[in-house]
Structure 1
C-alpha cells in the first residue's frame, strides 16, 4: 500500500470511491457528473462551505484514479475557499504533500510538510503534527538520509502512542520497518513489521495485507522461506477475499520470488504467469477506469466550456446592449449639451455685446466730460487772458499818461510841476493799492491749487490774516524772499518777520523749511 493510501486511512477519509479497488467504470461514469452537479449547485447557492467540500470530494476521486494533476487542482480549489487554519486545512495539505512524494517531487513535499507542521503546532493538532513529521521522514528516506528518516518516524510514533491511534501506530511501525529493510537490518525490520501487524488487526484490510507482504519479504530475504510463504499465503487469501487485485498480484509476485529462492523454478514460473494475468486484468481495469474518468472529465469540461461560451456570448450581447445604450445616451447627451452650449454662447455673446455697448457709452461719457472740462479750462484761460489784457492796457495807459504829463511839465514852472507830480504820485499809489489784482491772482491760484487755502486753514493753530495768506500763496509759487518783497512793496526784513509769524501758526518743527512745507501741503 502506498504512503498516500495509508495517510488517507490515518486521516479518516477512506471513502469507498477513494480506496475500493473494485469500483467499476459505470460507477465512475456516474460519480464525476454527480460531483460536478453538486459543485454547480453549491456555487449557484453561494454556499462556500459546501463548494469547498465538493472540491475536496472531487480531489479524492481523482486521487484514487492516480490522476494527480486534477487531484491537486481540486485540493487547491478547496484551500482557496477554506482559508481557516484548522485541522481540515492541515489534512488536505498533507495529502498534497504525499502526492508530491509519490511523484518524487521531494523538495515540494518537504516544504508543504514543514508548513503543515508549523500550523499543527500552532493549533496543537497532534495527529496532524504526527502525519507531517512522518511525511518528512518518508522524504528523508527517499533521499537516502535514513538517520533523519528514523528520527522523524520515531517522533511521529511517540505522538501516535500518546494519542493511542492504532492505525497511525501500525502505519508508522511499518514505515520504520521499511527503513530498516532498506538498510538490510532485517531483524529490526521484522520486529517493527510484527508490531505493525499487532496494531493493524482492527484497521483497514489493505494495511493488513501490506504488512503481511512485508513480513513475507523480510523472511524471504533472511532465508526463512517457509515462513515467508506462510505470510504471503495469508496476504493472498485476504486480498482475494476483499477483491483487491493489486494486492493479489503483489502476493503472487512474492510467491514467485520465494519459490525461485527455494529452487522450485517451475512453481515460480507458474506464479509469475498468474501474476501477469492478474496484472493484465488489473491494468485493463485501471486503464478502463482512467479512460472512463478522462472521458467523463472531457465531457464535463466540454459542457463547462459550452456553458462558458454561452455565458460569454450572453455577456457579449449584454455588452453590446450596454454599448448601444451608452452610445445612444452619449448622442442624446451630446445633442443636449450642444443645444445648451449654443444657447449659452448666444447668451454670452449678447452679454458681451451689452458690455461693449456700456463700455462705448462710458467712453463717450468720459470724452464728453473731458470736452466739457477742456472747454471750461479754455473759458477760464480766455477770461484770465482778458483780465490780464485789460490790466496791462490799464497799466500801459497809466504809464502813457505819466510819460505825457512828465513831458509837458519839463518846460513849466516849479510850482506847477510840484502840483502835477503830487497828483501822479497819488494816482500811482491809488493804483498800487487796488486789491482787485490780488483778488484775481488768488482766484487764478485757487483754480490751479483748489484745496490749498482750505488745507492751510485746517492745519493752522491760529487764523491767518489776508497778508499772511498772500505770503503763503507767494511761497507756494516758489518765489524768493527778494521777489516777494518787490511784489508786496516791503523790505526783505519785513518778509523775514512775516515768515516767522506764519511759521508760529503752522505745525512745523524748528528744522523744517516753511517753503518746503507749503510746497508739499
Structure 2
C-alpha cells in the first residue's frame, strides 16, 4: 500500500470515528431531554396554585417552564394547559396581544380539539382578551362559539360555564353601553343561580357579585328602590355566609346614597369599603377608593382637609403600585422573550442537527477544511437570523404597548377612572404643562375636564362619563372661557387642542 493511500485510509477512519462520536453525543443529549411527564404535570399544578392565589409572575414562570418541557417531550396535554395558564396570566398583567397568540397556539393541540369543555373555556378567555382590546364584536363572536359548545357539556361543567358566560356577556355589553342587554344577561345569571345549591362558596360569591351588578344597573337607571333591594340582598348574603370580600357592595351603597343626596351616609359606606379593602389587602381597590373619596369630599364641600388627606394617601399608594406594575410587566416580558429565545435555540438546534448529519456524509467525501468553512458560514447565518428575530420581537412588543395605551386612555375616560389623568399626563405631558403655565393652581378635576375636551369628547359624552348633566358641563365650559379668555365664537375643544401643536391624537 503506497503512502498517499495510507494517509487517505487513516483520515477516512478518523472521520468515521468522529461521526460515531457525534451520533453518540446527540443520542446522549436527546436522552437527557426526555423529561418525565410527571415533572411537567407537577409544574402545571404549581402554576395553577399560584394563579388561584393571584400570584401572576410565579404562575407565568412555572407555566412557561412547563411549556418548554412539554414541547421537548411532545406532551400535547401539557402544551395545551401551559398555553392556557400563560394566556390567563398575560390577560391579567395586560399583555393582551401576546396572550392572544397563546390562544391561537392552544387551538393547534389535540388537547383542545378533543375536549368540548376546553374549547368552551378558550373561546371565553379569547372573548375576554377582545373585550379588553375594545374589539367587542370579536368578543361576542367568541361567546357565540362558546354557547354552541354548551350542548356538548353536562352537569356542573355546563351550569358553571353558562353562568360565567352570562356574567361575561353582561360585562361586555356594559362596555358597549347596551344597558338592556346588560339587564337581560344579569337576570339570566340570577335565574341560573337559583337552580344551584347554596352550599358551594363559589355560588355565594356569585350571588353577591350578581346582586351588586343589579344594584349598579338600577342606580344607573335611577330606579333607586330596586337598587336598594338588590344591594340589601347582597349585604344579607355577605352576612349570612360570612363572606370576607364585600367592598363593592359598600361602594354601590355609597353611590346610591350619593344619588339620593345623602352625602354623609354615602361617606359612611365608602369608609366601610376602604376598611374592607385594607382587611383583605386589595391595594389596587384601596387606591381607587382613596381617589374616589378625595373627589367626593371636594365636589360636595364635605371638608377640604379630609379631601387632601385622601388625595395624599392615593398619591402615595398609586406611586407604589405604579412601580410594582411596571416591574411585573417588565418581568413578564422577560419571561416571554426568554421563552422565545429558548424556542429559537431549539429550532436552531434541530436545524443544526440536520446540517451536521449532512456534513457527516460530506466528511466521508471531502476534506476537513472545506467542511469547517461551510460549518462556519452556517453558524454565522444562524446567528444573524436569531439577531434579526430578536429585533423584530422587541419592535413588535414596543408598538403593541404604545397602541394599547391610547385605547386604554379612552376606556379609562369612559369609565370615569381615577387612573385617566395619570395615563393622559404620560401620553400628553405638553398639554398638562401648557395648562399649568396658564393657571399654576389648576386642580386635577379641572385638568381631567380639559383633557376630555382635548380628546374631542362632546358635552354630552363628558356629562355621561362623569355622571353630571349636560347643563353642568356647559356651565363648566363657560367658567373656563372666562378663566382663560376664550371667546364665545371659538370652539372650546379646538382651543384646547391648539394649546400644544403638533400633538398626534390618533396614535
The TM-score normalised by the length of structure 1 is 0.53
Within the alignment, does 1:303 sit opposite 2:336 as a pair?
Answer: no
Within the alignment, does 1:263 sit opposite 2:302 as a pair?
Answer: yes
Tell me if structure 1 keeps the 8 A contact 2:297–2:304: yes
Shift of 1:271: 0.8
Tell me if structure 2 keeps the 8 A contact 1:33–1:300: no
Q: 1:148 to 1:300 in 2, by over 3 A?
A: closer
Q: 1:18 to 1:104 in 2, by over 3 A?
A: farther
Shift of 1:205: 4.7
Tell me if structure 2 keeps the 8 A contact 1:97–1:113: yes
User: Match of 1:437?
Assistant: none
CA distance in 2, matches of 1:205, 1:319: 66
Q: 1:67 to 1:47 in 2, by over 3 A?
A: same
The higher radius of gyration belongs to 1
* Match for residue 98 of structure 1 among 110, 124, 128: 128
Within the alignment, does 1:282 sit opposite 2:321 as a pair?
Answer: yes
> Following superposition of structure 1 onto structure 2, how do residues 105-184 of structure 1 map, counting pairs within 5 Å?
105-124=135-154, 125-164=158-197, 165-184=203-222
User: Match of 1:73?
Assistant: 101
Q: 1:209 to 1:92 in 2, by over 3 A?
A: farther
User: Match of 1:506?
Assistant: none
* Match for residue 62 of structure 1 among 90, 93, 99: 90
Shift of 1:158: 0.5
The root-mean-square deviation of aligned C-alpha atoms, in Å, is 3.1
For residues 303-357 of structure 1, give each alpha carbon's deviation from its aligned partner in whole angstroms, at most 9, with x where no partner exists.
3323322322223333555789999xxxxxxxxxxxxxxxxxxxxxxxxxxxxxx
User: Match of 1:291?
Assistant: 330
User: Match of 2:200?
Assistant: none
CA distance in 1, matches of 2:347, 2:242: 45
CA distance in 1, matches of 2:82, 2:290: 38
CA distance in 2, matches of 1:140, 1:14: 32
Tell me if structure 2 keeps the 8 A contact 1:121–1:129: no
Q: 1:325 to 1:34 in 2, by over 3 A?
A: farther
Tell me if structure 1 keeps the 8 A contact 2:48–2:85: no
Q: 1:35 to 1:152 in 2, by over 3 A?
A: closer
The TM-score normalised by the length of structure 2 is 0.55
For residues 357-380 of structure 1, give each alpha carbon's deviation from its aligned partner in whole angstroms, at most 9, with x where no partner exists.
xxxxxxxxxxxxxxxxxxxxxxxx
CA distance in 2, matches of 1:47, 1:253: 49
For structure 2, the 5+ residue unaligned runs are 1-45, 198-202, 367-507
Within the alignment, does 1:312 sit opposite 2:351 as a pair?
Answer: yes
Within the alignment, does 1:53 sit opposite 2:81 as a pair?
Answer: yes
CA distance in 2, matches of 1:14, 1:44: 19
CA distance in 2, matches of 1:200, 1:61: 29
Secondary structure at the aligned position of 1:115 is classed as helix
Q: 1:159 to 1:47 in 2, by over 3 A?
A: same
For structure 1, the 5+ residue unaligned runs are 1-12, 328-521
Tell me if structure 1 keeps the 8 A contact 2:215–2:227: yes
For residues 227-258 of structure 1, give each alpha carbon's deviation from its aligned partner in whole angstroms, at most 9, with x where no partner exists.
32222222212222232110111221232233
Q: 1:296 to 1:133 in 2, by over 3 A?
A: closer
Secondary structure at the aligned position of 1:312 is classed as helix
Shift of 1:140: 2.7
For residues 161-193 of structure 1, give each alpha carbon's deviation from its aligned partner in whole angstroms, at most 9, with x where no partner exists.
212422222222222223223333343333323
CA distance in 2, matches of 1:275, 1:123: 46
CA distance in 2, matches of 1:194, 1:321: 79
* Match for residue 225 of structure 1 among 240, 259, 263: 263
* Match for residue 235 of structure 1 among 270, 273, 276: 273
Tell me if structure 1 keeps the 8 A contact 2:48–2:59: no
Structure 1 window deviating more from structure 2 (61-70 vs 152-161): it is 61-70
For residues 370-416 of structure 1, give each alpha carbon's deviation from its aligned partner in whole angstroms, at most 9, with x where no partner exists.
xxxxxxxxxxxxxxxxxxxxxxxxxxxxxxxxxxxxxxxxxxxxxxx
Tell me if structure 2 keeps the 8 A contact 1:62–1:71: yes
CA distance in 2, matches of 1:169, 1:296: 37
CA distance in 1, matches of 2:262, 2:140: 37
CA distance in 2, matches of 1:178, 1:44: 50
Within the alignment, does 1:42 sit opposite 2:73 as a pair?
Answer: no
Shift of 1:219: 2.0
Aligned length: 309
User: Match of 1:251?
Assistant: 289
Shift of 1:48: 1.7
CA distance in 2, matches of 1:84, 1:157: 31
CA distance in 1, matches of 2:107, 2:364: 42
> Following superposition of structure 1 onto structure 2, how do residues 410-449 of structure 1 map, counting pairs within 5 Å?
none
